[in-house]
Chain A
Amino acid sequence: MKQFNDNDRALTEALRALAAEDAGLAASNAVEAGLLGEVRSMARARRRRLAIAALAAAAGLVIAAAVPWRRSAGNAPAGPQPTTSVPHGGEVATAFFPLTYSSLPISNAQLIRVQVPRSALASFGLAPIDVPAGARGTASTTVPADVLVGEDGVARAVRFVSPTP
């Protein structure tokens, strides 16, 4: 029994010696560098997502502001625009309607999908019937719209979208 205990202790000591010898082992610096690159990339993607969310919020505000402006200016198009363009598979959209700052030069434009009040249709000269049924919003209070936003965060144009009937 004593021999067994001695052997067990010797094995434990040998294992501890091995652990101590290996204590300094570590992954190569290239692994850490690669992972830090991944963290940076994730941070960039996160900032981009936040920026897009902020742009979408800004675009919504601009549209909300544009609606009364178009009403007071009385410059709505004479007739409703036909819904003939196809922005994505399975969707149809109106033509783009210029917004207040449509004349400003635009660069790095992004198309941002937002929900706008249904009342916005009228201010662009559209009756609800001019936007196919799917675009009227399930609760009939909002419709989906694509807002063209420049990198300056200013919305230039908007179009209303609906699924293909």
Chain B
Amino acid sequence: MARVVHLVACAALVASCGSSNDGAAVRTVESSRVVGDRAVDFHRGDSTADRFGLGASPHGSAAGKAPEAAPDGSSGSKSPIAWTTPAGWTELPPTAMRTANFHPGGDPHTDCYLTLLGGDGGGLGANVNRWRAQLSLPALGPSEIDALPRQPFVGGDAVLVEATGTWRGMNGTDSNVGWALTGLLHVDPNGSAFLKMTGPADVVAAQHDAFLQLARSFRSAKAEVHGDEVRFAPAADDHAARSSSGEFSFEIPAGWRKAPERPMRNASFYAGPGEDLECYVTVFPGEAGGILANVNRWRGQLGEPAIAEADLAALHRIPMLGREAVLVECTRKGSQLVGAACAGADRSVFVKMSGPPERVQQERSAFLQFCASIRSGN
């Protein structure tokens, strides 16, 4: 790719200096050059979020506006996750870390939100005790955490935390006496979900049942709800060469077979013979913490140091879902991981395979082929 640079003028020249009507200093800059091989698509009108790799808003809602409710009371979101907002609750626009966001009972001091993370978010104990610390409460021991009650949530069991104390806030700077927290934690190394409600104790107590009702309502936007059972997406067909997982279709490589369903996974496979090498697909609405955070989480799982944004930009890309996915490969301590992470229009998709290095190398081509075969829709 020969590059011909014709330097027409390359002298940054401040030719004039004044002030515009709105007070901004005015500078004339005459510095330009002609280049011959700059690949620029002048007809591509990407949104700011797309250019910055954030994808579109998970709910596709207009900026600053709450998403509109569907006629049946369900969220009208385009997110892979849907829910039913309890009566009297105010639904707020999602933020980077809050996939679903509410004021329970319409009370502006009471917050409830759903957070989805790609990993275990530090583990169950750490999160339970972090929440308790926010209420100025002492930490619980492992046996006390094991004894906490369980509730169904996002296709699995979740630990229910209920506590009352003095709310210190996320940064430890508040001091609200008589506040309460009700939360559900579904913690899994392959993806975790947290639903948390905080506010004045009387409001939190009054909204307790509505909270649990909301927790049970979270489901895949395309999945069916059977009583209390909620599944994120239908499992892949065990035998079909061309299969699908809810909103995706893909080609299962020869020699791969379906693995048992796991919460938070949209499709799981045993790659090749045996069960020592698993490959699975996880889908999160929005950016799920961002590609960089997830790449570093994968690297951290193998004891590799985190990389910076600039290093991320240099990672190899592979085609997936009609876009470019970041390919992550690391080897350490007798284990190898190969993963692909892709921020889509309204969701983030992660495909990961890890196991003994020799097995990962055997199946690496099949993995890349699998990623390339993933398409939206059936």
Chains A and B belong together in one complex: no
| B→A interface (CB under 8 Å) | none
